Amino acid sequence: MSFNKKIAAVSLLLFAATIAHAQNVVSFTHQPGDFSIVSKGHPATIYTDRNDYWLVQQVSRWLQADVAAVTGAQPDTSHQVNQLPDGAILIGTIGHSAPIDQLIAEKKLDVSQVAGKWETFRIQVVSSGQKNILVIAGSDKRGAAFGALELSEQMGVSPWYWWADVPVRQRKEVYIAKGAHLFGPPSVKYRGIFINDEAPAFSGWTKEKFNGVNHLVYEKIFELLLRMKANYLWPAMWGNAFNDDDTLNPVMADRYGIVMGTSHHEPMLRAQQEWKRYGNNIWNYETNAPALRAFWTTGIEHMRNHESIVTIGMRGDGDKPMTQGSNVELLEKIVADQRKILADVTGKDPSATPQLWALYKEVQDYYDKGMRVPPDVTLLLCDDNWGNVRRLPSLADKKRPGGYGIYYHFDYVGGPRNYKWLNTNSIPRTWEQMHLAYQYGVDRIWIVNVGDLKPMELPISFFLDYAWDTHKWNAGNIGSYTTQWAARQFGEKESAAIGHILSAYTQINARRKPELLSPDTYSLVNYNEANRAVEEYAALNKQAAAIGARLPAGYHDAFYELVQHPVEACSNLNAMYVAAAKNKWYAAQGRSMTNELADSVKQYFKKDEEISQYYNTQLAGGKWDHMMDQTHIGYTYWQQPPNNTMPAVKTISISSGARMGVAIEGSTASWPNDTAVAVLPEFSEYGRRVHYIDVFNRGTEPFKYEVSSSASWLHISAPTGMVAKENRILLTVDWKNAPMGIKQVPVTVSGPAGKVVVQANIRHLGNGSAAFGEADKTVSMDAAHYTRAIGGNDIHWDVVPEIGRNSSGVALFPVTVSPVVPGGSSPRLEYQVYLSDTGMAKLYAYLSPTLDFNGGEGLHYGISIDDEAPQIISIHSDKSNRAWEQSVADEIRKPLSQHHITKAGIHTVRFWAVDPGVVLQKLVLDMGGVKPSYLGPPETSRMASAD
């Protein structure tokens, strides 16, 4: 290496050392050399070139207001850029800001990594003589805007300050660390949201607060988008038409630098409503092409020079499939005609205008049948409306100039059921699916359906953060997103506790959308599932309330909107459904508690209304009125009910006197009426440690009961007592003193009706191995608790935290590896189990409802026990719509394999990698004991860890 080259290499290294990517640049205490934004009450002045973009002037005003909100000291803004004084803040677009261009020309500002890039910016303290100037230089207008807003957020102004009332944290002083800080370019070029399904909530709110969905609302949305470094919007379209409703809408979008589109089924920048308003005859290209062409021509004429992405193609009117018999040829002609309109109106080659073709629902079939659009058009792949990507480009596909995008959903109107009330989106699952998409080359457009916008604040933030920088989040750190996000809204102090609430509530809501909950969701009798679900949510609600109470009063509205409301509302909803289920069951058993449960269902239902009422009318002084107008109780099919309807309840007449009844875990029967033998689920060291007997009253008078057994090591929580309504008696085994082997112990319940004998079966095998023990003829193992994870050359398994319905998941990475032939030393997860039973074993793999995104034979995994050859199981063997509906409603797929167990003892279950993209949540080995439940048997324990 020549001396000069060495110097060059060293200075490159130095340069690399001083330029930092996307890091914290703001501090609140002074370090030597720092640039001061506000120091000792004196704010710096913000300069922009008056010839720079409108957006740059606008962000300088936002920054001015933000600095004032943070420090109380309001900076001046100025266009006097000829002689920038020491301490000036300069915001500008390269090529549009004379002072920025001058600094570049003077070689004081190196923009070699910025100029010509998409939405890239550099924040740098530039020293010129005795002067220090803070320069925010954008490669384009959005780059400059994002730079200024990056400072705002780092100073403590949340993008959600207005949309979720997040307070601005007060600081006395604000500084910028010296050095150069480079941000961008973004991982995904167009990143945006779709306001959709906006009645009744968003429409009611906008009507009351803005007199319609007009530019005043949109300006708030544009600002929010920019503060989250987004650039793209599909506007509200239920009864609304962006361009037609308010002529200022498109003008303001252009000024704010927001790229506008129309939804997947509204071609040529014209809203469906516009056809309703002005369309001539029917929406059918076979019979009405001239009218449609004229209609679309107007759409492109209105586009003018506004940055837009034009949706092309066509679906039937009102987002339905086109008429039967519509074919590839017709659709290809439609696209060709639309592109001709584009060329005619713009006078440019059609490829000069960004376009997308959305492969939504049946449109993907056209694609599969071979239909293609010109390569400059972005292929907008879609999820299944339930957050599972349907199709990704094949890794072998040649790069298309138009690239690929994805249309994703956080809210949906359609089957198997609408979900449009509260946030039900899991951040880890969104990460996992969008990671998959990005790794397969989907990086041109990411757009997500966000319903009414509120209350989707958390997933919107994540979607856009991730689209901005996909390298930042991975399986190893995605579990911390909620805590980091909480810190951005509420400060560090409570962020871990708030992050936990956010993760926990979204995990619970994602496993079954509230709209799909019913009294039948969770099992009342098996695994104590229904009670556990209620207790889990109630505990979370208590924690949330306690955190809320600890936060300063100024945070209460934001905390309620972003954290507490969904927890309170869903905790109440779960409790209501379980109370309704119990009411029905108790009525059948004649329990005297029946009528009280009916009353509690009424109270929960009323409470639900009060919660919405509070959100609408009192929260933030009524700022969000109507945002909680969405009905959510009483669904009978996919479409929402017109009103919330309380679940049916029963009341019974209670006989006088004291009348004892006995019910036990695992059975819907009750004694003494029932003639079958009452048998409790088996006691095992490795299963649930507690089983219960309910002693209840069918009459009006309290009575005395006694529960006894001859086994001193079988502990009875309350051997005697008085029953007014019902007492739950908990039975546990003192394993240290219990005899080894299998024992049957009769437990006698005595009361006014005589005696009921309940049989307790105890299996005591002892400890000593790290294997999962069998309990009640069941072994249930969370995927992340493998005994061994064996990867391969450049292939490894990662735990994706909290992606499961009530656990984490494990998946193969990188997701782009070729399918693996399982067997021998190939990648696998191993789980050691101890089986005390022999015979046929059913092995269920609980998997996230990932779709066959390759469009091939489906995704597979391999499975074996001990030295069996791996069975290759397709997770998509049932391709019916019914199977898909079930998988998204239950948020799980549970393929089954069968294995023959010939001897008791230790065995190894092997889950073999075949296709990447498969996410394993848990494995359940059924030796004949698995009971019906929603979530499946809770995890059994490992023998070594049992006492």
13-21, 50-58, 71-79, 406-414 -> range binding ligand REL (CB under 6 A)? 406-414
Give which of 623, 601, 602 is closest to 614, Cα–Cα. Answer: 623
Site membership for ligand REL, residue 265 (CB under 6 A): yes
Minimum gap (Å) between residue 194 Cβ and ligand REL:
7
Residue from 101, 140, 173, 197 touching ligand REL (CB under 6 A): that is: 197
Closest approach of ligand REL to the CB of residue 234, in Å? 8
Kindly tell me which of 414 and 634 has the beta carbon lying closer to ligand REL: 414
Q: Does position 319 bind ligand REL by CB under 6 A?
A: yes
Q: Per CB under 6 A, which of residues 11..40 are in contact with ligand REL?
A: none
The residue (of 449 and 826) whose beta carbon lies closer to ligand REL is 449
- Among residues 157, 236, 322, 413, the one that binds ligand REL under rule CB under 6 A: 413
Q: Which residue is nearest to ligand REL (CB)?
A: 319
Contacting residues for 278 by C-beta, under 8 A, at least 6 apart: 295
Kind of pairing, strands 919-926 and 839-847? Answer: antiparallel
78: left (phi > 0), else alpha (psi -120 to 50), else beta? beta
User: Minimal distance in Å, beta carbon 612 to ligand REL?
Assistant: 23
Q: Which of 407, 505 has the CB closer to ligand REL? A: 407
Beta carbon nearer to ligand REL, 423 or 697:
423
Residue ranges in 132-161 that form contacts with ligand REL under rule CB under 6 A: none
Q: What's the CA dihedral at 113, 116, 117, 120 to 10 degrees?
A: 70
| Site residues (CB under 6 A) for ligand REL, limited to 546-605 | none
Minimum CB separation from ligand REL for residue 315, in Å? 9
Kindly indicate which of the ranges 23-31, 411-419, 720-728, 873-881 contains the residues binding ligand REL, using the contact rule CB under 6 A: 411-419
Binds ligand REL (CB under 6 A): choice among 120, 152, 196, 424: 196
> What single letter denotes the amino acid at residue 232?
Y
Tokens of 354: 């960004």
Tokens 């018999």 found at: 325
Binding mask 793-832 for ligand REL (x = CB under 6 A): ----------------------------------------
| Shorter beta-carbon distance to ligand REL: residue 408 or 560 | 408
Among 240, 308, 449, 808, binds ligand REL (CB under 6 A): 449
User: What x-and-dash track marks residues 838-857 binding ligand REL by CB under 6 A?
Assistant: --------------------
Distance CA 173, CA 27 (A): 8
For residue 876, the minimal CB distance to ligand REL (Å) is: 23
CB of 257 to ligand REL, least distance (A): 25
d(CA 318, CA 239): 11
Nearer to ligand REL, 249 or 385 (CB): 385
Q: Residue 616: how many CB atoms within 10 A of its CB?
A: 20
**Cβ-based nearer residue to ligand REL, 385 or 388:** 385
The pair of structure tokens assigned to 585 is 């069951």
Residue type, 561: E
CA distance 503 to 192: 23
Burial track 207-244 (b if 16+ CB lie within 10 A, e otherwise): eebeeebbbbbbbebbbbbbbbbbbbbbbbbbebbbbb
Alpha carbon distance 943, 779 (integer Å): 12
Question: Where is 829: in which H helix or E strand?
Answer: strand 828-835
Q: In the structure, how many helices (H) and strands (E) does the chain have?
A: 21, 41
Stretch of 240-248, 368-376, 412-420, 515-523 lying at the interface with ligand REL (CB under 6 A): 412-420
Nearer to ligand REL, 510 or 875 (CB): 510
DSSP-based three-state secondary structure for 181: strand
Task: Name the maximum alpha-carbon separation found in the chain.
Answer: 104
Residue 319 or 535 having the CB closest to ligand REL:
319
Q: What kind and span of H or E run contains 505?
A: helix 495-511
Torsion over CA: 580, 582, 586, 589 (sign): positive
The span of 74-82, 408-416, 625-633, 929-937 binding ligand REL (CB under 6 A) equals 408-416
Is residue 412 a contact residue for ligand REL (CB under 6 A)? yes
> If we measure between CA atoms, which residue out of 175, 185, 138 comes closest to residue 155?
175
Question: To the nearest whole angstrom, how small is the minimum distance from the Cβ of residue 540 to ligand REL?
Answer: 29
Site for ligand REL (CB under 6 A): how many residues? 11
- Report the alpha-carbon distance of residue 893 to residue 858 in Å, rounded: 13
d(CA 286, CA 288): 6
Give me the phi and psi of 39, to 5 degrees please.
-140, 135
Output 167-171 pairs: Cβ under 8 A, ≥24 positions apart: 167/554, 167/555, 167/558, 168/66, 168/69, 168/70, 169/70, 169/491, 170/70, 170/71, 170/72, 171/28, 171/38, 171/70, 171/71
Q: Report which of 160, 234, 159, 225 is spatially closest to residue 197, judged by C-alpha positions.
A: 234
321 binding ligand REL? (CB under 6 A) = no
Q: Report residue 218 as tokens.
A: 């949109």
Whichever of 204 and 937 has its CB closer to ligand REL, that residue is: 204
Residue 93 is a binding residue for ligand REL (CB under 6 A): no
Query: Does 364 participate in binding ligand REL (rule CB under 6 A)?
Result: no
Q: How far is the CB of 195 from ligand REL (least distance, A)?
A: 10
Question: Among residues 267 and 661, whose Cβ is nearest to ligand REL?
Answer: 267
Question: What part of residues 645-704 is at the interface with ligand REL (CB under 6 A)?
Answer: none
Token representation of residue 450: 């966000």
| Phi, psi angle pair for 783, to nearest 5° | -55, -40
**Pattern 266-305, ligand REL, x by CB under 6 A:** ----------------------------------------
d(CA 236, CA 769): 59
| Options 409-417, 561-569, 804-812, 814-822: segment touching ligand REL (CB under 6 A) | 409-417
Helix, strand, or coil here: 868?
Answer: coil
Q: Between 421 and 911, whose beta carbon lies closer to ligand REL?
A: 421
Tell me the closest approach of the beta carbon of residue 275 to ligand REL, in angstroms: 12
Closest to ligand REL by CB, 28 or 638: 638
Contact, 310 vs 376, CB < 8 A? no
Count the neighbouring beta carbons within 10 Å of the beta carbon of residue 367.
Answer: 18
8 A C-beta contact, residue 97 and residue 49 = yes
From the CB of 385, what's the least distance to ligand REL, in Å? 6
Site string for ligand REL, 206-245 (x = CB under 6 A): ----------------------------------------
**Rounded Cα–Cα distance for residues 506 and 427 (Å):** 8
Q: What is the DSSP letter of 364?
A: H
| One residue of 212, 321, 414, 858 binding ligand REL per CB under 6 A | 414
Name residue 590's amino acid.
Answer: G
**449 versus 521: smaller Cβ distance to ligand REL:** 449
| C-beta atoms surrounding 138 within 10 Å | 34
Among 203, 206, 263, 640, binds ligand REL (CB under 6 A): 263
Between 459 and 699, CB nearer to ligand REL: 459
CB closer to ligand REL, 449 vs 503: 449
Of 35 and 884, the one with the shorter C-beta distance to ligand REL is 884
Stretch that binds ligand REL, among 120-128, 407-415, 470-478, 510-518 (CB under 6 A): 407-415
Count how many residues are written for the chain.
947
What's the min distance (Å) between Cβ of 284 and ligand REL?
17
* Binding residues vs ligand REL (CB under 6 A): 196-197, 263, 265, 318-319, 385, 412-414, 449
